[in-house]
Amino acid sequence: MIANYGYKDGSGEYYISIDTDKCISCPADRACLTACPKEMFEIITDDYDDEVAAVKQSFRRSLAFECTGCKPAGGYTSLPCMTACTPGAIKHSW
Amino acid sequence: MGSRTVKVVFVEELKVDGAPQLRWGVKGKHIMFPEDLDADQAADKAFDEALKASGLTREQVKHVVATGAGRKQVKFATADITEVSAGAKGAVFMCPTARTVIDVGAEEGRGIKADSDGKVVDFAGNEKCAAGAGAFAESMSRALQLSLKDFGEASLRSDKTIPMNAQCTVFAESEVVSLIHSSTPKEDIAKAVLDAVASRVTAMARRVGIEGEVALIGGMVHNVGFVQSLKTALGVDQVLLPEMPEYVSALGAALMAADGNA
């Protein structure tokens, strides 16, 4: 399942997509949990009883602001969450 | 547990020869409009009313699965599942050919891609505001001093396309007031509002990718103007409209409980 967490507003679309099928037996040892400087990710048990990563509820309405530190202007050449997720389950829409 | 109403659906195992694929049927359903904001009491009251209406007792109900915005507040539920999974399951049960499900309730709209078993493949919602949902349409109908039914029907009498730029219910209401002051006919404003809701919901559906037939669930199915606006925004001739659309997610939760997936 691809879970899109985020929103669309007047300034654009801000979604973090997580391909939970790649997440189930994570070869990266859940590295996303510690890679994100804001600790935006958590492990949940989804409705199909799989343990997968998700964006914490409290961050879902403000992704455009929460992620600014890691976006190119913040000095990163690649996003820590996407780099840490070696199966390539995490994507940003913006 | 929706943000505006509480829906209860009971399913029972069917023992009908010659219908092997349809294992579950709806035993009873009930909707309640809570009078106060106490979700615990509302769930309890709705459940009791539903049991009474269906001629059942609490002991006869094997599992209670809660879904929706207030699902965590149903203390007597044995499990809870998200409205995304419940909506997909219920929609594919009601409309077996549907692979794209658009759910527009009171406070939130979402697009879901589902497989033939009603399992979620991809979903997107809008966590930020209610501009793509029923509460937005309701608020605008109040501004136009029209009932929700008249609001939907009025929009069908318009062939104008007036873009609404505001992404927020509060600002959109100012835009509607400006249109009223510039003597724009109510039917044109109604269409503009419903086109805007449809456009936002369609953007979510496009994010997950529109595949196969599209089913619309949730209370907005009752708004004929919105259904037309949605068809136009999606560029399709037909959208599947299940019976009892506002119960579909509750039905999906019940089906997941019955299948042992919740």
At A9-44, the pLDDT tens digits run 878 889 999 999 999 889 889 999 999 999 999 999
At B140-156, the pLDDT tens digits run 898 899 998 999 999 99
Farthest CA pair distance, chain B: 64
B214 contacts B94 by C-beta, under 8 angstroms: no
Q: Which residues contact B231 (CB under 8 A, 6 or more apart)?
A: B237, B238, B239
Cβ contacts (< 8 Å) between B80 and chain A: which residues? none
Within a 10 A sphere around the Cβ of B99, how many other Cβ atoms? 22
Note the CATH architecture for domain A2-92.
Answer: 2-Layer Sandwich (3.30)
Cβ contacts (< 8 Å) between B117 and chain A: which residues? none
Distance CA B221, CA B87 (A): 14
Helices of type H across A1-94: 20-23, 32-35, 63-66, 80-84
Helix (H) or strand (E) segment spanning residue A12? strand A12-19
Q: Specify the 3-state DSSP secondary structure of A16.
A: strand
Q: Decide which of A42 and A73 is more confident.
A: A42
User: For residue B4, which of B100, B94, B69 has the smallest C-alpha distance?
Assistant: B69
Distance from CA of A13 to the nearest CA of B (A): 10
End-to-end CA distance of chain B: 16
SS3 content of chain A, % helix, strand, coil (to 5): 30, 30, 40
Looking at the complex, does the CB of residue B123 fall below 8 Å from at least one CB of chain A?
yes
Looking at the complex, does the CB of residue A21 fall below 8 Å from at least one CB of chain B?
no
The pTM of this model reads 0.86
Q: Identify the band that residue A75 occupies on the pLDDT scale cut at 50, 70 and 90.
A: low
User: For residue A56, which of A45, A44, A69, A46 has the smallest C-alpha distance?
Assistant: A44
Spell out the long-range contacts of A25-32 with Cβ–Cβ below 8 A and sequence spacing 24 or more: A26/A53, A26/A87, A27/A86, A27/A87, A28/A84, A28/A85, A28/A86, A28/A87, A31/A84, A31/A85, A31/A86, A32/A81, A32/A84, A32/A85, A32/A90
* CA-to-CA separations, A62 to A5, A41, A58, B126, B202, in angstroms, rounded: 11, 14, 8, 11, 22
Looking at the complex, does the CB of residue A72 fall below 8 Å from at least one CB of chain B?
no
Residue B224 falls in which region: left (phi positive, over 0), alpha (psi -120 to 50) or beta: alpha
User: For residue B143, which of B176, B188, B178 has the smallest C-alpha distance?
Assistant: B176
Cβ contacts (< 8 Å) between A59 and chain B: which residues? none
Q: Decide which of B169 and B159 is more confident.
A: B159
DSSP-derived letter for residue B204 is: H
Q: Which residues contact B245 (CB under 8 A, 6 or more apart)?
A: B216, B217, B218, B219, B221, B222
Of A10, A15, A47, the CB nearest to B124: A15
Please name the residue that has the structure tokens 């349409």: B137
Domain boundaries, chain B: 6-82+247-258, 109-234
At B2-11, the pLDDT tens digits run 888 899 999 9
User: Which chain B residue is nearest to residue A64, measuring alpha carbons?
Assistant: B128
Q: Identify the band that residue B18 occupies on the pLDDT scale cut at 50, 70 and 90.
A: low
Distance CA B89, CA B115 (A): 9
* CA-to-CA separations, A60 to A14, A92, B70, B129, in angstroms, rounded: 9, 13, 18, 11
Q: Which of A5-19, A64-78, B52-66, B86-100 has the lowest mean pLDDT?
A: A64-78
Is pLDDT above 70 for B33? yes
In the CATH hierarchy, which top-level class contains the domain B109-234?
alpha beta
Distance CA B241, CA B58 (A): 32
Distance from CA of A20 to the nearest CA of B (A): 10
Domain boundaries, chain A: 2-92
At B161-196, the pLDDT tens digits run 998 876 677 788 888 889 999 999 999 999 999 998
